[in-house]
Chains A and B, each alone.
Chain A
Amino acid sequence: MELYQSTIHELQDKIKEGKTTATAITKSVLQRIDAVEEKVHSYIRVMKDEALSAAAEADKEIKKGNIKPLSGISIALKDIVCTKGIATTCGSHILHNFVPPYDASVVEKLRAAGAIFVGKTNMDEFAMGSSTETSYFGPTRNPWDLERIPGGSSGGSAAAVAADECVASIGSDTGGSIRQPAALCGIVGMKPTYGRVSRFGLIAFASSLDQIGPFTKDVEDCAIMMNVLAGYDRRESTSVNIDVPDYRQFAGRDIKGWKIGIPKEYFVEGIDPEVKAAIEASIKTMEKCGAQSVEISLPHTQYCLAVYYIIAPAEASSNLARYDGVKYGFRAPASELLDMYKKTRMQGFGAEVKRRIMIGTYALSAGYYDAYYKKASQVRALIKKDFEEAFKKCDVILTPTTPTPAFKIGEKTDNPLQMYLSDIFTISTNLAGIPGISLPCGFTKSGLPVGVQFLAGHFQEGKLIQVASAYERKAQIEKRRPKL
């Protein structure tokens, strides 16, 4: 097996035993990027020189015996987290030349843990999309089938892990943007509880929903990443100051006697039959693990998408007001100020971003606030209550991550509502602020990955690691690699 194919824990063992170096790992990953990036297009920017010099530094530390949790590990960052001195574009023309003067908290934490950053990954513009097709820098392709989308919005981060162009990566999830691409690319992706990981330095899309999380090749790596990412940050007022457990200790524990909630509302029409079969097999696997499946109800499920498409655009329309061509990024020439704002935003934003700014502006405009934003916020409270009731009856909830496997590039670009429906099983998690994980549960006949999602109560990421790790061991999903 090549170094670039390895997991974090495998590489860490090799580093500790002196069998490899940070430089060797970094070179292996960079060579892999050279070999497949043209086909996949996971990255907006590959940080070759920075990575090699960071690896050389890391090797000096390793030689001194100073080995950290991510020493020498190649990590890719979604181009929505600010990196000091390295352009951060958010997949948009309007930020194509923006160079942040500071690092996001997660970047600081990863660097302090020894991570080597190999690049900034492609994404839907401002994280608005489910396919990575709205990026100003062109689409990313699914490593399992280059004619298909990798999911989104963190499609570049997911594809990079699936194509072995990095060992693990960082994404952000506002309505499924980590879990949906993780499922469609056949890897592990976690959206932590709202407030568990600092959003300082994360370019804002919908502030009450956004959360940063990891993409990894297995569940143990997910726990290792969460150990680094989680925790309070005084610079982020919604980050929550409660203890962070050692997530790694949850991996490998059994789940005998656990109750696995199966929400009946998630098994209605519209699910691809092969996805449905894979999820039904997952439920059987849970029973083989000694857990018991119980039917539960999340009665407001059918309203989640409508709530989301008020709340997320409303918050986005406000957050994106800052892109006015004055302080940073692109500016269109104009002789009057108002004209400059309008032309800058017209030329700087793509169609999907404009569409969402328009919905949000309309929903918040005079006379419509009660009918839309207030109404959506009330239904959001009902959705959160559904989960509180459900978790009285079960330890975790099991659902499909997506209704279908990866769809074709261009298939849904002309129909925004159809595109939005691909997030139908992931959105409720963000509305309720609870954590969720997606991991591989099989393949379709044509070889596309399928993902199963587990959800738990607030700050119960440990439970998710425990159940996902038990599933991963028992299910023994065939370890395939995309042919590239």
Chain B
Amino acid sequence: MKLTAQEVEYVAHLARLEITPQEKEKFTAQLNDILLYIDKLNELDTKGVEPMSHAIGVTNAFRADKVAASIGTEKTLANAPDGRGEFFRVPKVIE
């Protein structure tokens, strides 16, 4: 086993996911299966191979730093589960 149930719980915390004990058990088994399969990659010697992060050789795409129209506060907040005035409202963050 590459991944223990405790590690699965920690990864879930990093991913900001609450998981049930049943999910923890299921994910531990399934993620181990998947990671075991992925181990296949270690058959290959990749020393000196430049990692590829994009399919096409894209470089930074710059444009002029000019002010343009944006969608505005009202429309931005229209989808918020809890918005008030000009703000998104969330549970208290600061003690």
Binding site for B on A (CB under 8 A): 97-99, 101-102, 193-195, 208-209, 234, 237-238, 240, 300, 302-303, 305-307, 309-310, 317, 321, 324-331, 334-343, 345-346, 349, 351, 354-355, 357-359, 361-362, 365, 372, 374-382, 384, 416-417, 430-434, 458
Contact = CB atoms under 8 A, between A and B. Distances in A.
B18 A342 contact: yes
Given A355-B27, A382-B44, 19 more contacts: A102-B71, A194-B54, A237-B58, A240-B56, A303-B40, A305-B37, A328-B80, A331-B81, A342-B18, A343-B18, A349-B17, A358-B8, A358-B11, A359-B34, A365-B11, A375-B41, A378-B46, A381-B52, A417-B33
Contacts of A208: 53-55
A101 B78 contact: yes
Nearest to B13: A342
Residue among A358, A377, A434 having the largest count of chain B Cβ atoms under 10 Å: A358
Residue among B13, B46, B71 having the largest count of chain A Cβ atoms under 10 Å: B46
A416 B7 CA distance: 20
Contacts of B67: none
Given A327-B79, A329-B79, A355-B30, A342 B38 contact: no
Nearest to B39: A306
A237 B44 contact: no
20 contacts: A97-B79, A99-B79, A240-B56, A303-B41, A309-B34, A310-B41, A325-B81, A326-B88, A334-B91, A342-B18, A349-B17, A357-B15, A358-B27, A359-B35, A362-B11, A378-B52, A380-B52, A381-B49, A382-B44, A432-B55
Interface string B58-88: 1011010000000100011011111000001
Given A101-B71, A372-B38, A379-B44, A346 B17 contact: yes
Nearest to A300: B44
Size band of the interface chain B makes with A: 35 or more
B21 interface: no
Interface of B: 3, 7-8, 11-19, 23, 27, 30-31, 33-35, 37-42, 44, 46, 49-56, 58, 60-61, 63, 71, 75-76, 78-82, 88, 90-93
Contact of A340 (B11, B12, B91): B91
B58 A240 contact: yes
B50 A381 contact: yes
Given A303-B40, A331-B82, A378 B51 contact: yes
A376 B37 CA distance: 13
A351 B23 CA distance: 9
B49 A382 contact: yes
Contact of B38 (A240, A309, A330, A343): A309
